[in-house]
Structure 1
């Protein structure tokens, strides 16, 4: 199972830091997602593009989580030699994160 099956995501930028918000498709899955989608898992998923510690803010009232992934945008909008300096396409990549959750039958 991948994150996309239980959540949706939106991304934005702050300099070369990717801001990634993850929202469960169903509120019932929120606690599972908080347990599964950690700073460490997200850092491993994005790999060598990370230049510092990943930070996660859990927002149970929404429900949702916001991750700060430093360095992923390689210089940001004005400094990155990529087509997606804002990181909008990276929400799709984040949703490919494998989860250790068994899908219901």
Structure 2
């Protein structure tokens, strides 16, 4: 097993109560591993304590990236939340801590 952050990095952004997290492979040969193992279900499990709403995954093969749009995960968004991370930037690190099966 290896951690996702060994083969990919992430970017996060927000718009209201919607979080956008992109997971980008460092090397093109690792993109298929992302597609196979970084699923909506695994993202939902990683953020379960935040009780995310709908999650949509977009595959960007030319960039070697996956983009996840996650609704209702930021406690109302930057202006409505007392959360210290109202933008959700640290949530991308929770995703990068995901275990992957690699052969």
Aligned positions, number: 102
Partner SS, residue 73 of structure 1: coil
1:19-68 deviation digits (Å, cap 9, x = unpaired): 00010011110011100001111111110423422110000111211001
Which residue number corresponds to residue 88 of structure 2? Answer: 87
Segments of 5+ residues of structure 2 without an aligned counterpart are: none
What do you get for the CA RMSD once the two structures are aligned? Answer: 1.2
Displacement of 1:90: 1.6
Which residue number corresponds to residue 78 of structure 1? Answer: 79
Q: Higher strand fraction: Structure 1 or Structure 2?
A: 2
Q: Is the contact made by 1:50 and 1:69 (CA closer than 8 Å) also made in structure 2? A: no
Segments of 5+ residues of structure 1 without an aligned counterpart are: none
Displacement of 1:80: 1.0
Which residue number corresponds to residue 39 of structure 1? Answer: 40
Once the two structures are overlaid, the 10-residue window that deviates more, 47-56 or 66-75, is 47-56
Q: Distance in 2 between matches of 1:92 and 1:48?
A: 15
